[in-house]
A and B are shown apart, each in its own frame.
Chain A
Amino acid sequence: MSPFWKWTIAVFLVLLLAAFLVLSKMAGSPRDVYGMVRYALPHMHRGSLKIGDDAPDARLVALDGSDHFHIRERTGGRPLVLIFGSFT
Chain B
Amino acid sequence: MVQIYDDYKDHADFLTVYVREAHPTDEWQMKSNVKDDVCYAQPKTLRQRVAIANDFIKRFNYPIAFGIDDITNAANDAYSAWPERFYIIDESGRVAYRGGMGPFHYDPDEVRAWLAARYGAVRHDAPASPRPVASLSSRK
Contacts and interface: CB of A to CB of B under 8 A. Distances in A.
Given A46-B80, A51-B97, A87 B74 contact: no
28 contacts: A38-B28, A39-B28, A44-B82, A45-B80, A53-B94, A55-B95, A58-B79, A60-B17, A60-B70, A61-B50, A61-B68, A63-B68, A75-B89, A78-B11, A78-B13, A79-B12, A80-B14, A80-B15, A81-B8, A81-B12, A82-B86, A82-B88, A84-B16, A85-B19, A85-B136, A87-B38, A87-B40, A88-B23
Interface residues of A, number: 47
B53 to A, nearest CB: 6
| Residue among B55, B65, B95 with most chain A CB within 10 A | B95
Contacts of B140: 28
Category for how many chain B residues contact A: 35 or more
A69 B39 CA distance: 28
The majority secondary structure among interface residues of chain B is mixed
